[in-house]
Structure 1
Amino acid sequence: MKYPVLKLKKGRERAVLHRHPWIFSGAIAEPVEAGNGEIVEIQDYHGERLGYGFFSTQSQIACRIFHFSRELCTIDTAFWQQKVADAYRLRRRFVISDHTNAYRLIHAEGDGFPGVIVDVYHEVAVVQVLIKGVEHLLPALAEVLLSYGVRFIYLNVKEVAQRIEQVSLEEGWYAAAPGSPEVEIKENGLRFIVDVARGQKTGFFLDQRDNRRLLGSYSRGMRVLNTFSYTGGFSVYALAHGAELVHSVDIAPAVLETAARNVALNELPQEKHASFAMDGFKYLEKQTPDHFYDIIVLDPPAFAKNARAVPNAMRGYKALNLLAFRKIKPGGLVFTFSCSGNIDKDMFRKAVFAGAADARRDVRILHQLTQPIDHPVNIYHPEGEYLKGLVLYVE
């Protein structure tokens, strides 16, 4: 099958040859006879084929490459199903087990699927559609998901994708009969309630699975503060591993109710858990006594959703960590994270360093944390490494 051609300007093929999956509009030599979301064949200035991608008429990222090849290729149902099978093989080998039935099956560019994320919660798959081109592969994707034991598919389509990328899909259940928006999952043997329709992101922060388990290993006999707690992932792990008490803080009362349900679901001592519907900054500043908590978790939402927000985000990360350093008990641990893609790990560490310096506490790095196996980073696309974390020992 022939596809419309996207021809690069002379000398602009270097990034593609290095397998970076994004082509910006300024690299295109001539108008592309393709509609928004169509598959195009990428060629260098001399007409040599380099690969295939989704074309965008709306974004500065004019093309997102999903297949690098100099060979003529037919992009059909079998093509997409093989890519899903490759992604599933990785998860089947390293993540899925009798103790864990919630995982990320497709991590956008990390799995060669730009513009789409698929999170599986037991029998429900949540498909996050980020670009128009994903509409073309959705039927094939749905077919293979159902063959892997998924019974229900929920489309997660944000307003920004509809407005900027002109995605025409609506959020809601896809094809099959609608399932329940609440799903019970298992993660490392612990149970959680996930709301795929009303929850943040796709319903649960699967990217913190390994980091939650690490926190649990340090929690026995500890007083733990979990700020920006959402539905209590870190809180449940701390209690399950013998924490003396755990306080969950989030600005949204509804998610704290789910956190309490998760504690009860795991038959953990509810008298050791308390929730506070309050902004994490304000709780640390106004409500937290000095040197009370042995462990403080700082897992805020993304402070920098675009490049323009980076300066304010850096100030925010410094201020948040400064508060924790001032409050933590001597010999305590701070688990601190950033999920802002526009803040790289060096920038994040500088913000944390600035907070430590202002707090005038001796701080040592015990662990450097990132996203788990089912959120792989394409080595040619470092932008996919969005989650940064540090475990800090504070004298």
Structure 2
Amino acid sequence: MGEAIVTLKKGEGRTIKAGGMWIFDNEIASIMGNFANGDIVRVHDFDDYPMGKGFINQNSKIRIRLMTRNIHQEVDRDFLKKRVLEAWEYRKKVVDTQNCRIIFGEADFLPGLVIDKFSDVLVVESLALGIDRFKEDIVNLLKEILLEDSIVIKGVYERSDAKVRENEGIKRTKGFIGEEFDTNVEIIENGVKFYVDVKDGQKTGFFLDQKYNRLAIQKLCRDAKVLDCFTHTGSFALNAAVAGAKEVIGVDASWTGINQAVKNAILNGVEDKTTFLCRDVFELLPELEEKEEKFDVVILDPPAFAKSRQSVKNAVKGYREINLRAMKLVKEGGFLATCSCSHFMSYELFTQVIHQAAKNVHKRLRQVEFRTQAPDHPILWAADESYYLKFYIFQVCEEK
């Protein structure tokens, strides 16, 4: 059976014409031929100009995710191997590959698929029906490619349990791909040791995208009193402690995260100068302000407050509130590290929110640096969803 042909409406396909990977349901004029959801289809413009090939899913508003611009390219084992090899070669050039994201979906031209490497373990997250069909082949290809660099993968765990899979009409799933292994994996990042729970931790178990942002705060934290809000499993807090902070307080609303953070502190031998609190950050910050607590460094690494366009308005309030409170807790001349990991919270809007918060509490901010996600989470221009992390470091000064 030949591939079905999808024809776009006149004037549509703006995303893929700009270099993106998605075609939405309302951009399609017609589909000729037989297909099942998840099949590869050809895409033509309204005037029959070939646009590429991708997998289709009528359950999803993202109706087609492009795999290739070449209409004649077979999406077969050789094609997948080339994509995976290119992704790995790129990582070898731009990051420490001991722990890194090897496949980052659309930005690696393998839409809907994420693969993280934690030491000798791979964690796979599949978010789209079409890529689900290829995921085990891709994993096997990746293991072969890594073996050529003398890297032996001990085990693979699947964390395709994100709610977004339901938008694709597919069930959430998690479990071993192949042999079972201990899912508590020890890693070292920036000289800091962590236990990563790939089975039950958030997302794939650890947020690799902040690797170099955590490194960037180390120099500010020597001999400092540090407050790390939304600490998760202690990642920023422990970078601060290992870098020579004199006192570190980490806060998170999850007992699971806090318990893991305490274990990670012991693993690094810094339990004597770290305290982890299971608290709501929004409630704790005003309490600390009332007690007139002051910190040399305050770090804000909240979860994505804006998970959709509709939630941006409430997210703005949340980001403004925590940044405003944090600025009040920073000593004169101290530092604030603050970020947003929400794609829907644009750079411009996030910057505006911080500016407004500073104005409200009569603080002047000196920008030390602006950063984004680590380069193993590459930002593909025109694929807007690949750019999500905004990270600022400021020196906080009184108005003079």
Alignment of 1:242-253 (within 5 A): 242-253=244-255
Say which of 330, 343, 346 aligns to 2:345: 343
- What is the CA distance between 1:353 and its match in structure 2? 1.2
Paired amino acid for 1:20: G
How far does the alpha carbon of each residue in 1:3-56 deviate from its partner, in whole angstroms, 9 at most, with x for none? 221111123244423222111111111146432222111111232321111212
Paired amino acid for 1:27: E
Compared with structure 1, are the counterparts of its residues 138 and 356 closer, same or farther at alpha carbon in structure 2 (3 Å cutoff)? same
Structure 1 gaps of 5+ residues are none
Partner of 1:8: 8
**Higher mean C-alpha displacement, 163-172 vs 110-119:** 163-172
Paired with 1:162 and 1:209, the residues of 2 have a C-alpha distance of 27
- What is the CA distance between 1:260 and its match in structure 2? 1.7
| Contact kept? 1:291, 1:330, Cα under 8 Å | no
Partner of 1:110: 107
Say which of 297, 300, 308 aligns to 1:298: 300
| Contact kept? 1:306, 1:342, Cα under 8 Å | yes
DSSP 3-state at the match of 1:133: helix
- What is the CA distance between 1:162 and its match in structure 2? 4.0
- What is the CA distance between 1:341 and its match in structure 2? 1.1
**Following TM superposition, where does structure 1 have runs of at least 4 consecutive aligned residues deviating by more than 4 angstroms?**
none
Partner of 2:116: 119
Partner of 1:272: 273
Partner of 2:166: 163
Paired amino acid for 2:47: H
DSSP 3-state at the match of 2:358: helix
Paired with 1:237 and 1:43, the residues of 2 have a C-alpha distance of 50
Partner of 2:149: none
Partner of 2:382: 380
| Contact kept? 2:60, 2:169, Cα under 8 Å | no
Partner of 1:324: 326
DSSP 3-state at the match of 2:38: coil
How far does the alpha carbon of each residue in 1:221-254 deviate from its partner, in whole angstroms, 9 at most, with x for none? 1100001001111111111111011001111122
Q: Is 1:261 aligned with 2:258?
A: no
Compared with structure 1, are the counterparts of its residues 17 and 252 closer, same or farther at alpha carbon in structure 2 (3 Å cutoff)? closer
| Contact kept? 2:297, 2:336, Cα under 8 Å | yes
TM-score normalised by L of structure 2: 0.93
Alignment of 1:227-238 (within 5 A): 227-238=229-240
- What is the CA distance between 1:77 and its match in structure 2? 1.1
Paired with 1:338 and 1:237, the residues of 2 have a C-alpha distance of 19
Partner of 2:356: 354
Paired amino acid for 1:50: M
How far does the alpha carbon of each residue in 1:116-146 deviate from its partner, in whole angstroms, 9 at most, with x for none? 1111111211111111111121122121232
Paired with 2:229 and 2:96, the residues of 1 have a C-alpha distance of 29
Compared with structure 1, are the counterparts of its residues 36 and 160 closer, same or farther at alpha carbon in structure 2 (3 Å cutoff)? farther
Partner of 1:27: 27
Say which of 178, 181, 188 aligns to 2:190: 188
Partner of 1:50: 51
| Contact kept? 2:338, 2:392, Cα under 8 Å | yes
| Contact kept? 1:19, 1:68, Cα under 8 Å | no
Paired amino acid for 2:175: G
Partner of 1:87: 87
Structure 2 gaps of 5+ residues are 147-151
| Contact kept? 1:334, 1:392, Cα under 8 Å | yes
RMSD of the alignment, in Å? 1.6
Compared with structure 1, are the counterparts of its residues 34 and 290 closer, same or farther at alpha carbon in structure 2 (3 Å cutoff)? farther
Paired with 1:170 and 1:5, the residues of 2 have a C-alpha distance of 31
Number of positions where the alignment pairs a residue of Structure 1 with one of Structure 2: 389
Partner of 2:38: 37
How far does the alpha carbon of each residue in 1:70-107 deviate from its partner, in whole angstroms, 9 at most, with x for none? x411110111111010000011122235xxx1100011
- What is the CA distance between 1:169 and its match in structure 2? 6.3
Partner of 1:393: 395
Paired amino acid for 2:219: S
Partner of 1:154: 157
